[in-house]
């Protein structure tokens, strides 16, 4: 009885879907012009674009302009369109326009023929479904089934040995492997098992690879689905797919569910003023519901990957969900050697191939770029009928990868690397020389996100109060990069933008909020008002005179300049130490741990060696 109704509903849905598809199809493919990806990004920024549809191959883009024009473009399949748009300065929250087509048999294979064939096909399908549904009731509902692919033993097994240069991440994930292998051990002690692990890192750094390696190491099935696949044609399908995926996973436990590009569904909800995507929200909610619904002995671990952790919905990051986070960075010099080694395994290399030299020539390359490089080199060698891959093949392949279409992470020139190295060394040395600064844990000239290089300093303990001395120390630390550039090159670059912004903000707060300027006293200047309806925007109301405003500006300036002077004096005094760190940083690109500590100590002791050197040479 009930089944009859379900069956009837199925027919109705199929018919509606068929009509929708046919209409879509009859819409002629029109003579679309091909435009460059850059142009698309520019147009998106200028809000000329109505809609972008990403093809199922993750490369083809169909663009509909507001003025009715249509065009096509291409992107690299590993790049997320969201990320590209975001990086180009497009307000992605405000653009409910990106749709991803499911693997579309109609578009790619049948193409123009489909105008005649489609109606026939649908009639046939309808007939088919009718019989099926009568037989085993709900088989017809298969389009709600998840498309998670199941990888098991028959695939070549990927293990941690195939993933190079991400030792920290591997270490963190080995715990997950342990759990999947010996769940009883943890259960016996009542340990709460991690539910979800979020892998974060730029495209091509091995997130997908690593997730598979975890499954391979643990010897469990691996269900994978991409966030962008969820965002599909019919409302409600995403959510039902999630349900189905997790059902499957629970039946096959212990195993791994891998959600790639989770940012496609897990973007912050309800922030943009432009309408939010219902479908996405439902899908996201379903993921959360499923993860919350695991009981303590469900041996399913969800691994998700994203290259845009900053836009994720905070609900995803709550305890019991993706509370483990693993960061993958682009590899440094040593990392690149390791990755090259992994990909050269089993390939005949000529004796002249020096992977270290190659690694040195490829700053900014991701793991995927390096894999690509080795593959291109092998192809070149084969085309030249060689038995072995030579260094020349490798170098040509590197050029090819660099020149590849729309490569986002351009290669950094030696000169730029030198500047970045001095900049970061400046931060680090200043932090090391001023006792109130937090200790430096890591410096790197490998770009991460928008920053070209970075210095990571971490407080030794949680801090709730910031003494004035500490803020002043931090200001000098922030300006250490700028001071180093000025000192060494007698010039500065745009690389200090963020440092300067932070320092200025902090100095202004010292004066107007914390009463840390003697001249202006313990008075709060300016009233902050939260404009709730505009999100987190804060408007300031001025409640002081123009004279006071001028004084505030003067004080801010005095403080910032004082901090700059302090940083510069310190660096001048330890110029040789600065050279030492910058030099080493250019060689190895990342410094951390014991090596960094020793280097900083040595640098700190190299006082006034400029004069000493001058003395010996004269
Ligand atoms: P992501 O998912 O982070 O975009 P992938 O895991 O898809 O990157 O990486 C694409 C390819 O690049 C991998 O299949 C592998 O060949 C290569 N690769 C990336 N990172 C590494 C690494 N750390 N070690 C070895 N190979 C890597
Ligand atoms: Mg991936
Ligand atoms: Zn800086």
| CA nearest neighbour of 365 among 327, 341, 338, 330 | 330
Sign of CA dihedral 551, 553, 557, 559: positive
CA distance 11 to 122: 11
Q: Whose CA is nearest to atom 12 of ligand 1?
A: 368
Report in angstroms the alpha-carbon separations of 316 from 238, 265, 319, 462, 496: 17, 11, 9, 25, 33
pLDDT for position 612: 47
Per-residue tokens: 439: 């200790």
Q: Whose CA is nearest to atom 15 of ligand 1?
A: 368
The half-sphere exposure of 508 on its side-chain side, counting CA atoms within 13 A, is 11
Report the Cα 239 to chain-centroid distance in Å.
25
Please, which residues have CB less than 5 A from ligand 3, an ion? 481, 499
CA distance 145 to 237: 9
Residue 567 burial by CB count (10 A; 0-12/13-18/19+): exposed, middle or buried? buried
Kindly give the distance from the C-alpha atom of residue 3 to the centroid of ligand 2, in angstroms, as a whole number: 41
CA distance 128 to 104: 21
Residue 446, ligand 1, Cβ within 6 A? no
Instruction: Check if the beta carbon of residue 317 is closer than 8 Å to that of residue 323.
Output: yes
CA distance 427 to 513: 26
The ligand whose atoms approach the alpha carbon of 367 most closely is 1
Residue 335, ligand 1, Cβ within 6 A? no
Kindly give the distance from the C-alpha atom of residue 225 to the centroid of ligand 2, in angstroms, as a whole number: 11
Please, which residues have CB less than 5 A from ligand 2, an ion? 208
Q: Which residues pair with 60 in a beta bridge?
A: 74
Residue 200, ligand 1, Cβ within 6 A? no
Out of 261, 290, 424, 555, which one is annotated catalytic?
424
| Strand bridging mode 300-306 / 196-200 | parallel
CA distance 334 to 319: 35
The ligand whose atoms approach the alpha carbon of 156 most closely is 1
Q: Whose CA is nearest to atom 10 of ligand 1?
A: 368
* Angle in degrees, 0-180, between the axes of helices 480-489 and 468-478, rounded to the nearest 10: 40
pLDDT for position 311: 82
Residue 412, ligand 1, Cβ within 6 A? no
| Strand bridging mode 222-226 / 149-151 | antiparallel
Instruction: Check if the beta carbon of residue 336 is closer than 8 Å to that of residue 365.
Output: yes
The ligand whose atoms approach the alpha carbon of 226 most closely is 2
Kindly give the distance from the C-alpha atom of residue 384 to the centroid of ligand 2, in angstroms, as a whole number: 32
Catalytic, 424? Answer: yes
CA distance 7 to 184: 44
Report the Cα 329 to chain-centroid distance in Å.
9
Kindly give the distance from the C-alpha atom of residue 224 to the centroid of ligand 1, in angstroms, as a whole number: 16
Kindly give the distance from the C-alpha atom of residue 424 to the centroid of ligand 3, in angstroms, as a whole number: 6
Which residue has tokens 């010897």?
Answer: 219
Instruction: Check if the beta carbon of residue 141 is closer than 8 Å to that of residue 10.
Output: yes
Of how many residues is the chain composed?
Answer: 618
Instruction: Check if the beta carbon of residue 582 is closer than 8 Å to that of residue 421.
Output: yes
Share of the chain above pLDDT 90, in %: 37
Per-residue tokens: 592: 């951390």
Per-residue tokens: 498: 């963020």
Which residue has tokens 């590209």?
Answer: 84
DSSP state of 270: T
Strands (E), 471-592: 527-530, 538-541, 590-592
pTM for the model: 0.62
Report in angstroms the alpha-carbon separations of 170 from 176, 213, 234, 391, 593: 10, 9, 38, 31, 18
Low-confidence ranges of the chain (pLDDT < 70): 1-10, 12, 14-31, 56, 91-156, 230-236, 268-278, 296, 403-412, 447-452, 460-462, 528-540, 608-618
Q: Which residues pair with 100 in a beta bridge?
A: 54
* Angle in degrees, 0-180, between the axes of helices 367-383 and 333-344, rounded to the nearest 10: 40
Residue 164, ligand 1, Cβ within 6 A? yes
């Amino acid at each position: 009885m009930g089944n009859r109704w379900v069956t009837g509903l199925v027919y109705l849905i199929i018919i509606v879907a068929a009509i929708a598809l046919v209409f879509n199809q009859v819409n002629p493919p029109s003579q679309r012009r091909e435009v460059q990806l850059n142009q698309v990004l520019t147009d998106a920024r200028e809000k000329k674009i109505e809609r972008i549809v990403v093809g199922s191959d993750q490369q083809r883009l169909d663009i509909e302009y507001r003025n009715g024009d249509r065009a096509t473009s291409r992107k690299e399949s590993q790049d997320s369109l969201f990320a590209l748009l975001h990086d180009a300065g497009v307000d992605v929250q405000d653009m409910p326009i990106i749709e991803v087509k499911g693997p579309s048999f109609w578009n790619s294979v049948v193409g123009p023929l489909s105008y005649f064939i489609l109606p026939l096909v649908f009639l046939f399908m309808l007939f088919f479904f009718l019989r099926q549904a009568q037989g085993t009731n709900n088989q017809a509902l298969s389009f709600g089934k998840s498309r998670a692919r199941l990888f098991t033993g028959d695939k070549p097994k990927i293990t941690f040995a195939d993933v190079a240069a991400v030792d920290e991440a591997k270490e963190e994930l080995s715990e997950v492997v342990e759990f999947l292998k010996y769940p009883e051990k943890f259960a016996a002690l009542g340990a709460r098992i991690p539910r979800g692990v979020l892998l974060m890192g730029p495209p091509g750094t091995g997130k997908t690879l690593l997730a598979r390696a975890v499954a391979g190491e643990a010897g469990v099935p691996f269900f994978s689905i991409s966030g962008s696949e969820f965002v599909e044609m019919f409302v409600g399908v995403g959510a039902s797919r999630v349900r189905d995926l997790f059902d499957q996973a629970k039946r096959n436990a212990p195993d791994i569910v891998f959600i790639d590009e989770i940012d496609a569904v897990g973007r912050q909800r309800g922030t943009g003023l432009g309408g939010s995507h219902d479908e996405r929200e439902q899908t996201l909610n379903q993921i959360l519901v499923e993860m919350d619904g695991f009981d303590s002995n469900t041996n399913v671990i969800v691994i998700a990957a994203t290259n845009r952790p900053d836009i994720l919905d905070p609900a995803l990051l709550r305890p019991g969900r993706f509370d483990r986070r693993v960061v993958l960075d682009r590899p440094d010099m040593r990392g690149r050697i390791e990755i090259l080694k992994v990909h050269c395994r089993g390939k005949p290399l000529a004796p002249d191939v020096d992977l270290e030299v190659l690694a040195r020539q490829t700053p900014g390359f991701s793991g995927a770029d390096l894999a690509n490089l080795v593959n291109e080199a092998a192809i070149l060698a084969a085309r030249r009928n060689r038995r072995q891959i030579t260094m020349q093949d490798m170098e040509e392949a590197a050029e090819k990868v660099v020149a590849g279409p729309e490569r986002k992470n351009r290669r950094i020139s030696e000169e730029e690397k030198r500047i970045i190295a001095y900049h970061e060394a400046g931060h680090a040395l200043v932090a090391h020389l001023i006792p109130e600064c937090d200790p430096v844990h890591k410096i790197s000239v490998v770009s991460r996100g928008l920053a070209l290089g970075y210095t990571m300093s971490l407080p030794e303990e949680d801090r709730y109060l910031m003494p004035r001395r500490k803020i002043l120390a931090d200001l000098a630390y922030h300006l250490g990069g700028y001071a180093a550039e000025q000192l060494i090159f007698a010039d500065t670059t745009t690389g200090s933008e963020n440092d300067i912004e932070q320092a200025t903000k902090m100095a202004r707060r010292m004066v107007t909020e914390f009463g840390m300027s003697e001249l202006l006293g313990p008075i709060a200047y300016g009233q902050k008002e939260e404009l709730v309806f505009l999100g987190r925007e804060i408007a300031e109301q001025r409640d002081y005179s123009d004279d006071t405003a001028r004084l505030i500006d003067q004080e801010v300036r005095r403080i910032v300049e004082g901090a700059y002077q302090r940083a510069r004096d310190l660096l001048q005094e330890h110029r040789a130490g600065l050279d030492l760190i910058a030099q080493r940083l250019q060689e190895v690109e990342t410094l951390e741990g014991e090596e960094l500590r020793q280097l900083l100590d040595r640098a700190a002791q190299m006082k006034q060696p400029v004069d000493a050197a001058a003395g010996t040479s004269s």
